[in-house]
Amino acid sequence: MAYSYDDQNIFAKILRDEIPNDTVYETDHSLAFKDITPQAPHHVLVIPKGKYVCFDHFANTASDAEIVDYIRAIGEVCKMLGIPPGDGGNGYRLLSNAGQDGVQEVPHLHVHIVAGRGLGRMLNPAAS
Ligand code: AMP
């Protein structure tokens, strides 16, 4: 696997406190903050603090501790937002874009948690 991490990406700058963010949750290995351009009433990004470009990079090279922390952090943010169907919430969608076809804008792994309205079909069939 050949991933080269760009230390100048915007989420790296957030992690170094060089630019502000609206943090909603933080752990030793993970940070969750509000998306600056929300697509729904709830739109939170969850990132690992380690230098991982995208999901497969993380899944294949992160430590077990980082992976457990990250997955738990996503679950915790869902709970904080009151959106888990199992807790009476209306549900949510998790998205993680990777690379060119995934139209990933920021080359630091992030999962989007999107919720708070009906989200329609999973993919836009008109997109190319
Ligand atoms: P993606 O296309 O999956 O890489 O999504 C990148 C996301 O990062 C977009 O939803 C942007 O709105 C969001 N974003 C970009 N810069 C910031 C920032 N400074 N703070 C919070 N979210 C940001």
Chain segment 60-83, per-residue pLDDT in tens = 999 999 999 999 999 999 999 999
CA 39 to CA 23: how far, in whole Å?
Answer: 17
Residues 88-112: tens digit of each pLDDT: 999 999 999 999 999 999 999 999 9
Kind and range of the H or E run holding 95: strand 93-95
Q: Is 57 among the catalytic positions?
A: no
**How far apart (Å, rounded) are the C-alpha atoms in residues 64 and 79?**
23
Query: What percentage of the chain exceeds 90 in pLDDT?
Result: 92
Distance 103 CA to ligand 1 centre (A): 12
State the Cα angle at 14 between 47 and 111, rounded to 5°.
Answer: 20
Find the residues whose C-beta lies inside 6 A of ligand 1: 10, 19, 21, 33, 35-37, 45, 97, 103-106
Give pLDDT, residue 124.
77
- Give the pTM: 0.96
Distance 110 CA to ligand 1 centre (A): 9
Q: Which fold has domain 10-115?
A: HIT family, subunit A (3.30.428)
Q: Which of 98, 104, 108, 25 is nearest to 62 (CA)?
A: 108
